[in-house]
């Protein structure tokens, strides 16, 4: 993966260590693995971030920060992946998760109109919570697994490409030196 490109967007160690929203993690935030850019750390961060994006709770970033610290994966990437769910994408993503949950449970789909109110939440969510939560868990797990595998595969391709380029350069240098050595 393009480490240099990603490093441009990752904040400096001191910025993360002194960030007031992350102070609750105390000395755990000092772990150097939280900012590493390697295949394991980045693919894990993408996988966990995508999974947590489908967890239907507020403050997903706090869950992302705690998960990154516990699992010791890249903290900024984990927190950035959670932002896939935002006010624009939440309705279609959660509706899709609900439909997947209905399909998995084999229950009939219930029609409902989404409203952002406490009354709607207590009335409607009481009837659709099982397929909704199951769908969120299933789709989040699938997205996290697919994201992690994709990053690992792309990272490996980039490493192989770099190795082949270096091998080709060494071969070119050797072949350009050989005619001179023969004389």
How high is the pLDDT of residue 50? 96
Helix (H, G, I), strand (E, B) or coil at 31: coil
In a 13 Å sphere around the CA of 16, the CA atoms on its Cβ side amount to 23
pLDDT, residue 180, reads: 53
**Dist. CA 156–CA 142, nearest whole Å:** 21
Is the model's pLDDT at 98 over the cut of 60?
yes
Residue 153 predicted with pLDDT over 90: yes
The residues, ordered by sequence, that sit 6+ positions from 136 with a Cβ below 8 Å of its Cβ are 54, 55, 56, 94, 97, 101
Phi and psi at 150, nearest 5°, equal -65, -45
Give the per-residue pLDDT at 119.
74
* Interatomic CA distance for residues 134 and 62, integer angstroms: 22
Between 1 and 68, residue with greater pLDDT: 68
DSSP secondary structure, 72-117, as one string: T--HHHHHHHHTTS-TTTHHHHHHHHHHHHHHHHTPPPPP-----S
With a cut of 60, say whether residue 1 has pLDDT above it: no
pLDDT in tens, 24-48: 666 666 666 777 788 899 999 999 9
Q: What is the pTM of this model?
A: 0.75
pLDDT per residue as tens digits for the range 45-95: 999 999 999 998 888 888 998 899 889 898 889 989 999 998 899 888 988
d(CA 146, CA 164): 27
């Amino acid at each position: 993966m393009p480490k240099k490109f990603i490093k441009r967007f990752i904040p400096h160690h001191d910025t993360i260590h002194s960030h007031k929203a992350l102070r609750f993690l105390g000395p755990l935030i000092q772990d150097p693995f939280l900012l590493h850019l390697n295949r394991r750390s980045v693919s894990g961060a993408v996988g966990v971030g995508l999974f947590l994006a489908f967890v239907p709770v507020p403050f997903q970033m706090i869950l992302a920060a705690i998960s990154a610290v516990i699992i010791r994966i890249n903290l900024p990437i984990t927190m950035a992946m959670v932002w896939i769910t935002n006010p624009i994408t939440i309705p279609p993503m959660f509706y899709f998760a609900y439909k997947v949950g209905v399909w998995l449970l084999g229950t009939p789909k219930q029609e409902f109109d989404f409203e952002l109110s406490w009354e709607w939440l207590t009335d409607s969510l009481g009837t659709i919570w099982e397929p909704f939560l199951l769908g969120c868990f299933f789709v989040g797990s699938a997205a996290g697994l697919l994201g992690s595998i994709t990053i690992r595969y792309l990272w490996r391709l980039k490493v192989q490409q770099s190795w082949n380029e270096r091998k080709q350069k060494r071969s070119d240098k050797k072949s350009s030196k050989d005619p001179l050595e023969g004389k």
